[in-house]
Amino acid sequence: MVVGDFSIELDTVVIGAGPGGYVAAIHAAELGQKVTVIEREFIGGVCLNVGCIPSKALIEAAHHYQYAMHSQDMGLQVTAAKLDFNKTIEWKNSVVSKLTGGVASLFKKHQIDVVWGDAFLKDDHNLRVIDKEGHAQTYSFNNLIVATGSHPIEIPNFKFKGRVLDSTGALNLREVPKELVVVGGGYIGCELASAYANLGSHVTILEGGSMILANYEKDLVKVVEHHFSKQGVDIYTNALAKNAEQTDDNVKVTFEIDGKAQEITADYVIVSVGRRPNTADMGLEQAGVKVDERGLIPVDAQSRTNIPHIYAIGDIVAGFALAHKASYEGKVAAEAISGMKTTVDYRAMPAVCYTDTSIATTGLTLAEAKEKGFKAKKAQFPFAANGRAISMGKTDGFIRLVFEEETDILLGAQIVGAHASDLINELTLAIEMGATTEDIGLTIHPHPSLGEAVMDAADVALGFPTNI
């Protein structure tokens, strides 16, 4: 192997080691390909290091703190509950280390090489990698999977520095803010708002649209808003963030509603208004890869770009920016390179918002089903009638099933309430398998369990609402 101006020949190259890239790399190696991963910063990408995993660790710690503080109704009187936030951050970081270390071990197991640096395409079969020291090396490749992810959007007058934070900065605070402003009421902003509210912050959410969590149905969001109210979170909708003025001690946020200016002074402001794909300045145009006006790469059903041996997955292609979607697409791309007939199928793509009262959805909503021409109906069951939810003190929310009226085949499901992220898996599998509401209703669920509410919702659909 010669470094410098000579080109090193590689088989399958994956740019990016996030949940899309590392899964693609491992699966490609499992299928017999010789794989090289190019990564600029860290194994595991945003998700494992500064996104999904650390945020859920922080959310879980916040839940435990609230349990300790508010379990009097169960006869638990905790008189010395104290939050050591530095210890919480250390624990969160240990969770990240375990998972990223695990991925590194899997790379070693599958003999996957890692090249550190930024990749730039020279043409459709060659790229150049420049490391942090400025050293460059050229590589040729037979197949390429681009999995470069996305980055937070920075808005005017809210440059990410000091007390103005992106989601990464929000997960690395060394103190719990007394006053916190979150600009953007999407799922990332709402998750962080919920976590810090549970840790003791007074949180204000500024959302530019007419409602928070705009990608979810209103009745689901209403349950989350109700819980936010109980947490003391203030929500301003149709609020346009205008400016952030920092001092050594705080940040003053100016925003407008209906043209009227208002101000809030906080310890920190988190800006979470969306993410942009990382497709610029990496030479895609030199390789002939098409990129649309939003910076997304058009792909076919096998994640293949317009260049047959170059693939793109994850946040840089159309659809939800979800880690599990990226992983799924990575497996499809790896199999396509190996000549398999696998194609993507998004009909049962779950999405979760991990607010304190969480939301999880899969498949179609009732409105979407009707738009697609289905003669669809819905049936739902409240957690307030579920024995396990009552025993947990978690009775807010419901499970809703969307099904085709003539066949009873499940088309979609929506859950708002405790452990929604776990409960949605059964329903995602049911849609994937073409199950009917009768199949679900006839499946024996353990008692007492939150999952019984899935069976009960199916009974409602069948016209036998035994437990309601």
Each domain of the chain, given as residue ranges in start order, spans 7-151+276-337, 164-273, 357-462
pLDDT in tens, 55-69: 999 999 999 998 888
Asked if residue 5 has pLDDT above 70, the reply is: no
Q: Which tokens sit at 413?
A: 């499901």
Q: Is the pLDDT of residue 71 over 70?
A: yes
* Protein fold of 7-151+276-337: FAD/NAD(P)-binding domain (3.50.50)
pLDDT in tens, 186-232: 999 999 999 999 999 999 999 999 999 999 999 999 999 999 999 99
CB atoms within 10 A of CB 302: 17
The reply to whether 190 sits in an annotated binding site is yes
Please tell me whether 47 is known to bind a ligand: no
Q: Which CATH class is domain 357-462?
A: alpha beta
Q: For 294-321, what is each residue's pLDDT tens digit?
A: 999 999 999 999 999 999 999 999 999 9
Q: What is the pLDDT of residues 319-337, one digit of tens each?
A: 999 999 999 999 999 999 9
pLDDT at 3 over 70: no
User: 441, 436, 446, 434: which is closest to 464 by C-alpha?
Assistant: 441
Rounded Cα gap, residues 344 and 444, in angstroms: 31
Q: Torsions phi, psi of 241, nearest 5?
A: -70, 125
- Is 148 marked as binding a ligand? yes
Whether the predicted pLDDT of 75 surpasses 90: no
State the average pLDDT for the chain. Answer: 96
19-54 per-position pLDDT tens digit: 999 999 999 999 999 999 999 999 999 999 989 999
**Residue 274 is assigned to a ligand binding site:** yes
State the CB neighbour count (10 A cutoff) for residue 293. Answer: 5
- Whether residue 184 is annotated as binding a ligand: the answer is yes
Whether the model pTM is above 0.85: yes
The predicted pLDDT at position 69 comes to: 84
Tens-digit pLDDT profile for residues 382-400: 999 999 999 999 999 999 9
Residues noted as catalytic: 447
For the segment 112-117, the average pLDDT, to the nearest whole number, is 98
Asked whether residue 60 is marked as a ligand-binding residue, the answer is no
Residue 24 near residue 156, CB atoms below 8 Å: no
Q: Which amino acid is at 262?
A: Q
Q: Which residues of 319-356 are buried (b: 16+ CB within 10 A; e: fewer)?
A: eebbbbbbbbbbbbbbbbbbeeeeebeeebbbbbbbbb
**Amino acid identity, residue 165?**
L
How far is Cα 435 from Cα 403, in angstroms, rounded to an integer? 10
- The response to whether 421 counts as a known ligand-binding position is no
Would the annotation count 314 as a binding residue? no
283 is in an annotated binding site: no
Written as six digits, the tokens of 228 are 């936010």
| Model confidence at 4: pLDDT above 70 | no
What pLDDT is attached to residue 392?
A: 94
Instruction: Provide the 10 A C-beta neighbour count for residue 369.
Output: 20
Is residue 247 marked as binding? no
- Given this model, what pLDDT does residue 169 score? 95
Burial tier of 103 (Cβ tally within 10 Å: 0-12, 13-18, 19+): buried
> At residue 74, does pLDDT exceed 90?
no
pLDDT in tens, 219-263: 999 999 999 999 999 999 999 999 999 999 999 999 999 999 999
CA distances to 98, 316, 319 from 45, rounded to whole Å, are: 14, 14, 19
If you average pLDDT over residues 261-284, what whole number do you get? 97
Q: At what angle do helices 187-199 and 218-231 cross, to 10 degrees?
A: 20
Q: In 139-216, which residue ranges form alpha helices assigned H by DSSP?
A: 167-170, 187-199
Q: How far apart are CA 304 and CA 307, in angstroms?
A: 7
Burial class, 260, CB count within 10 angstroms (exposed 0-12 / middle 13-18 / buried 19+):
exposed
The strand ranges marked E within 18-169 are: 35-39, 113-116, 118-123, 126-130, 136-146, 150-152, 164-165
Q: Is 189 annotated as a binding residue?
A: yes
- Categorize the per-residue pLDDT at 268 as very low, low, confident or very high, splitting at 50, 70 and 90: very high
Share of the chain above pLDDT 90, in %: 94
Q: Do the domains spanning 164-273 and 357-462 agree at the CATH topology level?
A: no
Nearest CA-CA partner of 117 in 1, 11, 13, 9: 13
> Which of the listed CATH numbers 1.20.1260.10, 3.50.50.60, 1.25.40.10, 3.40.50.620 matches domain 164-273?
3.50.50.60
Which pLDDT belongs to residue 386? 97
pLDDT at 1: 37
